[in-house]
Amino acid sequence: MTKYKCLDCAYSANKKFPKGQCPACDSFNIANLQARDKDKPKASPVSLGLTVGLWMILGYLIWQQLLS
C-alpha cells in the first residue's frame, strides 16, 4: 500500500516526497495515507461476538420456520 499520495494529480509513492512536493506536478497538496489507516476505529471483540451471535440466532429462527 502506498503511504503518500498527491491529491491534485493522484501520483503515489511509498516514500515521502522530496521537499514535501509532488515530483509529477510540483503540488504541495499531499496526503499521508498511512495516518488515515491508524485513525480508523477497530471493532471490539465484544461487538464482533455480539454480531456473530445475532446472525446465528437469526439463521436458527429462519431454519425453524423453513422446517415447520
Per-residue model confidence (pLDDT) at position 10: 85
In a structure prediction context, what are the per-residue pLDDT tens digits for the chain, which is 68 residues long?
Answer: 568 888 899 888 888 888 888 989 988 988 887 665 555 677 789 999 999 999 999 999 999 999 98
- What does the buried/exposed string (b/e) look like for 33-67 if buried means 16 or more CB atoms within 10 Å of the residue's CB? eeeeeeeeeeeeeeeeeeeeeeeeeeeeeeeeeee
Q: How far apart are CA 61 and CA 26, in angstroms?
A: 60
